[in-house]
Amino acid sequence: MDRTISYVEAVREATDQEMERDASVILFGLDVDDPKAIQGTTRGLAQKYGPERVFGTPLSEDAMTGVAIGMSLAGLRPIHVHIRMDFLMLAMNQLINIAAKSRYMYGGQVHLPLVVRSMIGKSWGQGAQHSQALHSFFMHVPGLKVAAPTTPYDAKGCLIEAIRDDDPVMYVEHRILHFQKGPVPEPTYTVPPGKARITVKGKDVTLVGISYMQVECLRAQRYLESGGIQAEVIDPIWLSPLDGETIAESVRKTGRLCVVDNGWMTCGAAAEIVAQVTERLQGAREVRVRRMGFAPVTCPPTPSLENLFYPNARTIASAAYDLVKGSAQGWLPEERTDLREIEFRGPF
């Protein structure tokens, strides 16, 4: 498996291969057929599959989500793309009240094989409405699956899995992850829900990094190494269903859990992971926990505040260090430029 491609190419390839395999797969959303092709993730697909199967839509997120539901009721397998996760807020009624509920509410008579792709933005002044990470909204609601792949390998495998899934899947990307490169096999394969991956083995503390924060956790692991601490890093990959088991087993070993979300903490993915782990381990293992995520404010565009808004490798390392030592140590590693470009390595 020596082929290295980017996250963008992995998403594109997964879509292409599934569209080729299954004529019921269709792709639409604002600007999927425009010159920028959603960062390149849809490039060439309109030309290859024609405007009936690949098309840009009007700016009508609410109605187009309902249209996607209607299509999937009729047996199509739509992939609906949103360039920002923030725009999903216009589609919430259809997603939460209909997509999540149809199979159950109609007693299993219908199902909705629907994929909703959306992207989290960051930096360069994305600000209040172009930077939100709202995956936990969807984790909260039974009936939706949520994938947040961080590597090109998982981007491809999760997307293929999502397309083949007979129920709605929220597929969460991050704009910065789009530039990541990594090994990706050419033939199709799936990365099924409910299985997290241990990305680095360690014994002192468990770091769970969600979405882009996986990259920061991998860097934090290196910082911690230089502080004499061996962190185990876990990528949940799928947030719903969540592989609490793999994370709990790691924490059973380390006794310390730091969950770093690319999102807010209150009622968030990190809170859920911490709760699931402590429920599993209570009485069996004493555990120290820490959640990290966005500051509990609106994302400010000015760099001077934005830097404080997000956790980063050094603040994560510092927090994990404290967990291991059992109290605030005030340890903050010197910035290392060699860690800036951590890329994903495989194979997994």
For residue 290, give both structure tokens: 């820490």
Quick one: which segment of 84-92, 197-205, 208-216, 227-235 binds other proteins (CB under 8 A)? 84-92
**Minimum distance from CB of 131 to other proteins (Å)?**
10
Q: Among 67, 73, 76, 89, which residue interacts with other proteins (rule: CB under 8 A)?
A: 89
Element (H, E) at 257: strand 256-260
When asked if residue 153 is in the footprint of other proteins (CB under 8 A), the reply is no
Our CB check for other proteins shows the closer of 87 and 238 to be 87
Residues numbered 22-41 forming contacts with ligand TPP, rule: CB under 6 A:
30
Residue 269: φ, ψ to 5°: -60, -40
- Asked if 126 interacts with other proteins (CB under 8 A), we say yes
* Paired strand residues for 171: 117, 147
| Binding residue count for other proteins, defined by CB under 8 A | 36
- Are 301 and 126 contacting, i.e. CB atoms less than 8 angstroms apart? yes
Radius of gyration of the chain (CA): 20
Output the smallest distance, CB 34 to ligand TPP, in A: 10
Q: What would the DSSP string read from start to end of 286-330?
A: --EEEEE-S-SSPPP-SHHHHHHHS--HHHHHHHHHHHHHTS---
Contacts with ligand TPP, 215-234, as mask; x by CB under 6 A? --------------------
Determine how β-strand 231-235 pairs with β-strand 197-200.
Answer: antiparallel
Q: Which is nearer to ligand TPP, 20 or 34 (CB)?
A: 34
301: contact with other proteins by CB under 8 A: yes
Contact segment (CB under 8 A) with other proteins among 105-113, 117-125, 234-242, 263-271 equals 117-125
Residue whose beta carbon is closest to ligand TPP: 87
| Residue 29 or 78 with smaller CB distance to other proteins | 29
| Contacting residues for 265 by C-beta, under 8 A, at least 6 apart | 271, 291, 292, 293, 294, 296
Distances (CA, A) of 156 to 16, 44, 104: 11, 17, 29
| Residue 82 a catalytic site member | no
Of 35 and 107, CB closest to other proteins = 35
Select which of 82, 130, 135, 178 is catalytic: 130
Q: Is 116 in the site for ligand TPP (CB under 6 A)?
A: no
Helix then strand then coil, % of the chain, to nearest 5? 40, 20, 45
Out of 13, 61, 161, 232, pick the active-site residue.
Answer: 61
Per CB under 8 A, contacts with other proteins among 44-73 are: 56-60, 62-63
Distance, CA of 181 to CA of 207 (rounded, Å): 22
In sequence order, what are the residues at sequence separation of 6 or more whose Cβ sits closer than 8 angstroms to the Cβ of residue 199? Answer: 214, 218, 233, 234, 235
Verify binding: residue 92, ligand TPP, rule CB under 6 A: no
Q: Is 130 in the site for other proteins (CB under 8 A)?
A: yes
61 is catalytic: yes
Strand order in the sheet with 205-209: 197-200, 231-235, 205-209, 256-260, 288-292
Task: Please state, in angstroms and rounded to a whole number, the distance separating the CA atoms of residues 163 and 69.
Answer: 14
- Strand segments, DSSP code E, in 140-184 are 145-147, 169-174, 181-183
H/E stretch holding 102 reads: helix 102-105
Q: Which listed option, other proteins, ligand TPP, none, makes contact with residue 297 (CB within 5 to 8 Å by class)?
A: other proteins
Q: What is d(CA 46, CA 44) in angstroms, rounded to the nearest whole number? A: 6
Report the partner that residue 62 touches, choosing among other proteins, ligand TPP, none (CB closer than 5 to 8 A by kind): other proteins
Q: Which of 105, 110, 128, 267 binds other proteins (CB under 8 A)?
A: 128
Closest to other proteins by CB, 127 or 185: 127
Please report, as ranges, the residues that interact with ligand TPP according to CB under 6 A: 30, 59, 61, 87, 90
- Catalytic site positions: 61, 130
Residues that bind other proteins in the complex, under the rule CB under 8 A: 30-31, 34-36, 56-60, 62-63, 86-87, 89-90, 123-130, 295-298, 300-305, 308-309
